[in-house]
Structure 1
Amino acid sequence: MKLTSLHREFILHFGEMGSRWGINRTVGQIYALLFLSEGPLNAEQITDALGVSRSNTSMGLKELQSWSLVRLRHIEGDRRDYFTTPDDLWEITRTLVAERRKREIDPTLTKLRELEMQGETGDPYAEARIAELREMIEMMTQFHDEMSRMETERLVQLMTLGRKLGGLLDKTPRLNPFRKAT
Protein backbone atom coordinates (compact mmCIF):
# COMPACT_ATOMS: atom_id res chain seq x y z
CA MET A 1 0.00 0.00 0.00
CA LYS A 2 1.44 3.36 -1.01
CA LEU A 3 0.94 5.97 1.69
CA THR A 4 0.12 9.55 0.74
CA SER A 5 1.13 12.54 2.87
CA LEU A 6 -2.46 12.56 4.17
CA HIS A 7 -2.11 8.91 5.25
CA ARG A 8 1.26 9.52 6.88
CA GLU A 9 0.10 12.56 8.83
CA PHE A 10 -3.06 10.80 10.06
CA ILE A 11 -1.12 7.66 11.02
CA LEU A 12 1.56 9.64 12.86
CA HIS A 13 -1.08 11.57 14.78
CA PHE A 14 -2.87 8.37 15.84
CA GLY A 15 0.46 6.95 16.96
CA GLU A 16 1.11 10.05 19.08
CA MET A 17 -2.38 9.93 20.53
CA GLY A 18 -2.06 6.24 21.34
CA SER A 19 -0.02 6.90 24.45
CA ARG A 20 -2.64 9.35 25.68
CA TRP A 21 -5.34 6.74 25.12
CA GLY A 22 -3.46 4.00 26.95
CA ILE A 23 -2.16 2.12 23.91
CA ASN A 24 1.30 2.14 22.39
CA ARG A 25 2.27 4.13 19.33
CA THR A 26 2.43 1.17 16.96
CA VAL A 27 -1.07 0.00 17.90
CA GLY A 28 -2.42 3.48 17.17
CA GLN A 29 -0.60 3.53 13.84
CA ILE A 30 -1.88 0.09 12.84
CA TYR A 31 -5.43 1.14 13.62
CA ALA A 32 -5.05 4.38 11.65
CA LEU A 33 -3.66 2.52 8.64
CA LEU A 34 -6.53 0.01 8.68
CA PHE A 35 -9.06 2.78 9.20
CA LEU A 36 -7.88 4.60 6.06
CA SER A 37 -7.44 1.47 3.95
CA GLU A 38 -10.15 0.85 1.34
CA GLY A 39 -9.72 -2.89 1.70
CA PRO A 40 -8.46 -5.39 4.25
CA LEU A 41 -4.69 -5.65 4.83
CA ASN A 42 -2.61 -8.58 5.98
CA ALA A 43 0.17 -8.38 8.57
CA GLU A 44 2.90 -8.25 5.93
CA GLN A 45 1.27 -5.29 4.18
CA ILE A 46 0.86 -3.49 7.52
CA THR A 47 4.49 -4.18 8.47
CA ASP A 48 5.75 -2.89 5.12
CA ALA A 49 3.54 0.21 5.10
CA LEU A 50 4.47 1.27 8.64
CA GLY A 51 8.08 0.12 8.66
CA VAL A 52 7.68 -1.72 11.96
CA SER A 53 8.72 -5.23 12.93
CA ARG A 54 6.50 -8.20 12.19
CA SER A 55 6.28 -9.00 15.90
CA ASN A 56 5.09 -5.45 16.68
CA THR A 57 2.45 -5.82 13.99
CA SER A 58 1.29 -9.17 15.39
CA MET A 59 1.11 -7.87 18.95
CA GLY A 60 -0.67 -4.70 17.81
CA LEU A 61 -3.26 -6.66 15.85
CA LYS A 62 -3.89 -8.92 18.85
CA GLU A 63 -4.44 -5.90 21.06
CA LEU A 64 -6.81 -4.29 18.56
CA GLN A 65 -8.70 -7.58 18.30
CA SER A 66 -9.00 -7.74 22.10
CA TRP A 67 -10.61 -4.28 21.95
CA SER A 68 -12.95 -5.50 19.15
CA LEU A 69 -11.69 -2.64 16.96
CA VAL A 70 -10.52 -4.71 14.00
CA ARG A 71 -12.19 -7.50 12.12
CA LEU A 72 -10.54 -10.60 10.76
CA ARG A 73 -11.23 -11.26 7.08
CA HIS A 74 -10.31 -14.13 4.82
CA ILE A 75 -9.79 -13.81 1.10
CA GLU A 76 -10.61 -16.82 -1.04
CA GLY A 77 -7.50 -18.59 -2.23
CA ASP A 78 -5.25 -16.78 0.31
CA ARG A 79 -4.33 -18.46 3.58
CA ARG A 80 -3.23 -15.23 5.28
CA ASP A 81 -5.40 -13.35 7.74
CA TYR A 82 -6.57 -9.93 6.65
CA PHE A 83 -7.77 -7.15 8.91
CA THR A 84 -10.10 -4.22 8.56
CA THR A 85 -12.03 -1.79 10.73
CA PRO A 86 -15.81 -1.45 10.76
CA ASP A 87 -17.13 1.00 8.17
CA ASP A 88 -19.71 2.49 10.54
CA LEU A 89 -18.13 5.25 12.66
CA TRP A 90 -20.91 4.96 15.21
CA GLU A 91 -20.17 1.26 15.64
CA ILE A 92 -16.51 2.10 16.24
CA THR A 93 -17.45 4.76 18.79
CA ARG A 94 -19.88 2.44 20.56
CA THR A 95 -17.21 -0.27 20.70
CA LEU A 96 -14.61 2.13 22.12
CA VAL A 97 -16.99 3.42 24.78
CA ALA A 98 -18.11 -0.09 25.74
CA GLU A 99 -14.54 -1.38 25.97
CA ARG A 100 -13.35 1.61 28.00
CA ARG A 101 -16.32 1.17 30.30
CA LYS A 102 -15.55 -2.53 30.76
CA ARG A 103 -11.85 -1.86 31.44
CA GLU A 104 -12.00 1.39 33.41
CA ILE A 105 -15.45 2.42 34.63
CA ASP A 106 -16.89 -0.92 35.76
CA PRO A 107 -13.90 -1.86 37.98
CA THR A 108 -14.00 1.61 39.56
CA LEU A 109 -17.72 1.29 40.22
CA THR A 110 -17.17 -2.13 41.78
CA LYS A 111 -14.46 -0.72 44.06
CA LEU A 112 -16.64 2.22 45.12
CA ARG A 113 -19.48 -0.17 46.01
CA GLU A 114 -17.06 -2.36 47.99
CA LEU A 115 -15.82 0.67 49.92
CA GLU A 116 -19.36 1.72 50.74
CA MET A 117 -20.23 -1.76 51.98
CA GLN A 118 -17.44 -1.57 54.57
CA GLY A 119 -19.74 0.56 56.68
CA GLU A 120 -18.81 3.57 58.75
CA THR A 121 -15.09 4.23 58.80
CA GLY A 122 -14.99 7.29 61.00
CA ASP A 123 -14.51 9.61 58.04
CA PRO A 124 -17.98 10.85 57.06
CA TYR A 125 -16.59 13.32 54.52
CA ALA A 126 -14.71 10.63 52.58
CA GLU A 127 -17.72 8.29 52.80
CA ALA A 128 -19.99 10.99 51.39
CA ARG A 129 -17.57 11.79 48.55
CA ILE A 130 -17.31 8.11 47.61
CA ALA A 131 -21.11 7.76 47.64
CA GLU A 132 -21.47 10.89 45.53
CA LEU A 133 -18.91 9.63 43.00
CA ARG A 134 -20.60 6.21 42.84
CA GLU A 135 -23.99 7.83 42.24
CA MET A 136 -22.61 10.00 39.44
CA ILE A 137 -20.87 7.08 37.73
CA GLU A 138 -24.02 4.96 38.03
CA MET A 139 -26.02 7.77 36.44
CA MET A 140 -23.51 8.00 33.59
CA THR A 141 -23.50 4.23 33.03
CA GLN A 142 -27.31 4.14 33.01
CA PHE A 143 -27.25 6.94 30.43
CA HIS A 144 -24.70 4.98 28.40
CA ASP A 145 -26.90 1.87 28.57
CA GLU A 146 -29.86 3.85 27.25
CA MET A 147 -27.81 5.45 24.47
CA SER A 148 -26.23 2.14 23.41
CA ARG A 149 -29.68 0.61 22.86
CA MET A 150 -30.75 3.54 20.69
CA GLU A 151 -30.68 3.26 16.91
CA THR A 152 -27.89 5.30 15.35
CA GLU A 153 -30.26 7.61 13.50
CA ARG A 154 -32.12 8.49 16.72
CA LEU A 155 -28.86 8.95 18.60
CA VAL A 156 -27.64 11.41 15.97
CA GLN A 157 -30.95 13.28 16.23
CA LEU A 158 -30.61 13.42 20.00
CA MET A 159 -27.06 14.72 19.82
CA THR A 160 -28.10 17.34 17.29
CA LEU A 161 -30.86 18.47 19.63
CA GLY A 162 -28.50 18.59 22.62
CA ARG A 163 -27.49 22.21 22.19
CA LYS A 164 -31.11 23.29 21.70
CA LEU A 165 -32.15 21.43 24.85
CA GLY A 166 -29.33 23.08 26.79
CA GLY A 167 -30.61 26.47 25.67
CA LEU A 168 -34.13 25.52 26.74
CA LEU A 169 -32.88 24.54 30.20
CA ASP A 170 -31.11 27.88 30.52
CA LYS A 171 -34.37 29.69 29.78
CA THR A 172 -36.44 27.55 32.15
CA PRO A 173 -34.91 27.70 35.65
CA ARG A 174 -37.28 25.15 37.20
CA LEU A 175 -36.05 22.51 34.70
CA ASN A 176 -32.38 23.13 35.49
CA PRO A 177 -31.38 22.22 39.05
CA PHE A 178 -27.85 23.54 38.46
CA ARG A 179 -28.83 27.02 37.35
CA LYS A 180 -28.44 29.63 40.05
CA ALA A 181 -31.49 31.73 40.80
CA THR A 182 -31.15 35.39 39.92
Structure 2
Amino acid sequence: MELSPATQNFILHWGEMGAKWGVNRSVAQIHALLHVMPDPMTAEDISETLNLARSNVSNGLKELQAWKLVKVSRQLGDRRDHFTSVRDMFDLVTVVIEGRREREYAPTLAALKAVAEEAETDGTPKKVRGRIRETLETMQLFDDWYRDVSRLPRAVQLSAVKLGARVAKFLPKGKSG
Protein backbone atom coordinates (compact mmCIF):
# COMPACT_ATOMS: atom_id res chain seq x y z
CA MET A 1 0.00 0.00 0.00
CA GLU A 2 1.37 3.39 -1.01
CA LEU A 3 1.03 6.10 1.65
CA SER A 4 0.83 9.81 0.87
CA PRO A 5 3.61 12.03 2.23
CA ALA A 6 1.24 13.51 4.82
CA THR A 7 0.21 10.03 5.99
CA GLN A 8 3.86 9.00 6.21
CA ASN A 9 4.67 12.13 8.23
CA PHE A 10 1.73 11.48 10.56
CA ILE A 11 2.94 7.92 11.20
CA LEU A 12 6.55 9.05 11.70
CA HIS A 13 5.54 11.80 14.12
CA TRP A 14 3.24 9.43 16.05
CA GLY A 15 6.19 7.05 16.35
CA GLU A 16 8.42 9.82 17.69
CA MET A 17 5.72 10.93 20.12
CA GLY A 18 5.30 7.34 21.30
CA ALA A 19 9.03 7.00 21.87
CA LYS A 20 8.97 10.13 24.06
CA TRP A 21 6.14 8.58 26.09
CA GLY A 22 8.08 5.36 26.59
CA VAL A 23 6.29 3.37 23.88
CA ASN A 24 8.29 1.44 21.32
CA ARG A 25 8.48 3.51 18.12
CA SER A 26 7.27 0.72 15.84
CA VAL A 27 4.33 0.00 18.17
CA ALA A 28 3.33 3.66 18.00
CA GLN A 29 3.70 3.62 14.21
CA ILE A 30 1.47 0.56 13.95
CA HIS A 31 -1.12 2.36 16.04
CA ALA A 32 -0.82 5.50 13.90
CA LEU A 33 -1.34 3.52 10.70
CA LEU A 34 -4.42 1.76 12.09
CA HIS A 35 -5.69 5.07 13.44
CA VAL A 36 -5.69 6.84 10.08
CA MET A 37 -6.65 3.94 7.82
CA PRO A 38 -10.39 3.84 7.08
CA ASP A 39 -10.55 0.03 6.87
CA PRO A 40 -9.22 -2.79 9.06
CA MET A 41 -5.80 -4.14 8.14
CA THR A 42 -4.19 -7.54 8.49
CA ALA A 43 -0.82 -7.99 10.17
CA GLU A 44 0.63 -8.77 6.74
CA ASP A 45 -0.73 -5.49 5.35
CA ILE A 46 0.72 -3.57 8.28
CA SER A 47 4.09 -5.30 7.95
CA GLU A 48 4.28 -4.55 4.23
CA THR A 49 3.06 -0.94 4.55
CA LEU A 50 5.43 0.01 7.37
CA ASN A 51 8.28 -2.23 6.18
CA LEU A 52 8.45 -3.92 9.59
CA ALA A 53 9.22 -7.56 10.36
CA ARG A 54 6.08 -9.66 10.71
CA SER A 55 7.15 -10.74 14.23
CA ASN A 56 7.59 -7.09 15.22
CA VAL A 57 4.08 -6.30 13.96
CA SER A 58 2.62 -9.31 15.75
CA ASN A 59 4.19 -8.30 19.06
CA GLY A 60 3.15 -4.68 18.55
CA LEU A 61 -0.45 -5.69 17.88
CA LYS A 62 -0.51 -7.81 21.04
CA GLU A 63 0.78 -4.85 23.04
CA LEU A 64 -1.78 -2.48 21.50
CA GLN A 65 -4.58 -4.96 22.20
CA ALA A 66 -3.44 -5.27 25.82
CA TRP A 67 -3.70 -1.48 26.09
CA LYS A 68 -7.18 -1.66 24.50
CA LEU A 69 -6.06 0.68 21.70
CA VAL A 70 -6.56 -1.86 18.90
CA LYS A 71 -9.42 -4.24 18.24
CA VAL A 72 -9.41 -7.42 16.21
CA SER A 73 -12.18 -8.54 13.89
CA ARG A 74 -12.77 -11.29 11.36
CA GLN A 75 -14.15 -11.16 7.85
CA LEU A 76 -16.16 -13.84 6.08
CA GLY A 77 -14.02 -16.07 3.89
CA ASP A 78 -10.76 -14.80 5.42
CA ARG A 79 -9.02 -16.69 8.22
CA ARG A 80 -6.73 -13.76 9.04
CA ASP A 81 -7.33 -11.29 11.85
CA HIS A 82 -8.11 -7.71 10.84
CA PHE A 83 -7.13 -4.84 13.11
CA THR A 84 -8.48 -1.35 13.72
CA SER A 85 -7.66 1.37 16.18
CA VAL A 86 -10.32 2.68 18.52
CA ARG A 87 -12.24 4.84 16.04
CA ASP A 88 -13.82 7.45 18.30
CA MET A 89 -11.23 10.07 19.28
CA PHE A 90 -12.85 10.77 22.65
CA ASP A 91 -12.76 7.03 23.45
CA LEU A 92 -9.16 6.81 22.25
CA VAL A 93 -8.00 9.65 24.49
CA THR A 94 -9.96 8.17 27.41
CA VAL A 95 -8.33 4.75 26.92
CA VAL A 96 -4.85 6.33 26.82
CA ILE A 97 -5.42 8.49 29.90
CA GLU A 98 -7.00 5.69 31.92
CA GLY A 99 -4.28 3.25 30.89
CA ARG A 100 -1.51 5.63 31.90
CA ARG A 101 -3.30 6.38 35.17
CA GLU A 102 -3.51 2.67 36.01
CA ARG A 103 0.07 1.86 34.95
CA GLU A 104 1.84 4.97 36.22
CA TYR A 105 -0.12 7.39 38.39
CA ALA A 106 -2.06 5.00 40.66
CA PRO A 107 1.04 2.95 41.61
CA THR A 108 2.88 6.19 42.42
CA LEU A 109 0.02 7.26 44.69
CA ALA A 110 0.10 3.90 46.45
CA ALA A 111 3.87 4.15 46.92
CA LEU A 112 3.58 7.70 48.26
CA LYS A 113 0.91 6.60 50.75
CA ALA A 114 3.19 3.83 52.00
CA VAL A 115 6.17 6.19 52.23
CA ALA A 116 4.09 8.81 54.09
CA GLU A 117 3.00 6.18 56.64
CA GLU A 118 6.55 4.89 57.04
CA ALA A 119 7.90 8.43 57.47
CA GLU A 120 5.63 8.95 60.50
CA THR A 121 7.49 6.30 62.53
CA ASP A 122 11.00 5.94 61.10
CA GLY A 123 12.60 9.17 62.27
CA THR A 124 12.09 11.12 59.05
CA PRO A 125 12.50 14.83 59.84
CA LYS A 126 9.27 16.82 60.21
CA LYS A 127 9.98 19.08 57.20
CA VAL A 128 10.65 16.08 54.95
CA ARG A 129 7.44 14.39 56.18
CA GLY A 130 5.60 17.60 55.36
CA ARG A 131 6.91 17.64 51.78
CA ILE A 132 6.02 13.98 51.32
CA ARG A 133 2.51 14.64 52.67
CA GLU A 134 2.10 17.73 50.47
CA THR A 135 3.19 15.74 47.40
CA LEU A 136 0.75 12.95 48.22
CA GLU A 137 -2.15 15.32 48.93
CA THR A 138 -1.62 17.26 45.71
CA MET A 139 -1.33 14.14 43.58
CA GLN A 140 -4.39 12.67 45.32
CA LEU A 141 -6.32 15.89 44.65
CA PHE A 142 -5.65 15.61 40.90
CA ASP A 143 -6.49 11.90 40.89
CA ASP A 144 -9.78 12.53 42.72
CA TRP A 145 -10.58 15.31 40.23
CA TYR A 146 -9.83 13.01 37.29
CA ARG A 147 -12.00 10.20 38.69
CA ASP A 148 -14.87 12.63 39.35
CA VAL A 149 -14.70 14.08 35.85
CA SER A 150 -14.34 10.65 34.22
CA ARG A 151 -17.68 9.61 35.74
CA LEU A 152 -19.51 12.53 34.14
CA PRO A 153 -21.46 11.93 30.93
CA ARG A 154 -19.42 12.53 27.78
CA ALA A 155 -21.48 15.59 26.81
CA VAL A 156 -20.69 17.22 30.16
CA GLN A 157 -16.99 16.38 29.83
CA LEU A 158 -16.87 17.87 26.33
CA SER A 159 -18.66 21.01 27.49
CA ALA A 160 -16.18 21.42 30.35
CA VAL A 161 -13.20 20.97 28.02
CA LYS A 162 -14.62 23.47 25.54
CA LEU A 163 -15.36 25.91 28.35
CA GLY A 164 -11.73 25.73 29.45
CA ALA A 165 -10.43 28.53 31.65
CA ARG A 166 -13.66 30.49 31.14
CA VAL A 167 -15.08 28.30 33.93
CA ALA A 168 -13.29 30.69 36.31
CA LYS A 169 -16.03 33.26 35.63
CA PHE A 170 -18.48 31.00 37.46
CA LEU A 171 -16.30 30.37 40.49
CA PRO A 172 -15.73 32.57 43.55
CA LYS A 173 -12.93 35.09 42.91
CA GLY A 174 -12.74 33.77 39.36
CA LYS A 175 -13.77 36.99 37.66
CA SER A 176 -10.86 38.95 36.31
CA GLY A 177 -10.48 42.68 36.45
- Superposed, 1:108-123 pairs within 5 Å as 108-118=108-118, 119-120=120-121, 121-123=123-125
Is 1:94 the equivalent of 2:94?
yes
Is 1:139 the equivalent of 2:141?
yes
**Which residue of the other structure, out of 154, 165, 170, is the alignment partner of 2:156?**
154
SS in 1 for 2:87: coil
Structure-1 separation of matches of 2:30 and 2:92: 15
- Matched AA of 2:159: Q
Tell me the CA shift for residue 167 of structure 1: 5.0
Q: What does the per-residue CA deviation read over 1:53-112, in whole Å, with 9 as the maximum and x for residues that have no partner? A: 011101111111111110111111111111101221110111001100011001100101
Aligned to 2:29: 29
Tell me the CA shift for residue 166 of structure 1: 3.0
- Matched AA of 1:82: H
Structure-2 separation of matches of 1:135 and 1:122: 18
Moved more, 45-54 or 134-143: 134-143
Structure-2 separation of matches of 1:67 and 1:16: 19
- Matched AA of 2:21: W
- Structure-2 change in CA distance of 1:91 and 1:167 (3 Å): same
- Matched AA of 1:10: F
Structure-2 separation of matches of 1:122 and 1:44: 57
Tell me the CA shift for residue 162 of structure 1: 2.1
- Superposition misfits of 4+ residues, deviation over 6 angstroms: none
- Matched AA of 1:107: P
Structure-1 separation of matches of 2:13 and 2:87: 20
SS in 1 for 2:49: helix
Moved more, 60-69 or 45-54: 60-69
SS in 1 for 2:72: strand
Tell me the CA shift for residue 2 of structure 1: 2.4
SS in 2 for 1:72: strand
Unaligned segments of structure 1, at least 5 residues: none
Tell me the CA shift for residue 163 of structure 1: 2.1
Tell me the CA shift for residue 141 of structure 1: 1.2
Structure-2 separation of matches of 1:95 and 1:146: 16
Aligned to 1:125: 127
Tell me the CA shift for residue 168 of structure 1: 5.5
Moved more, 38-47 or 129-138: 129-138
Aligned to 2:7: 7
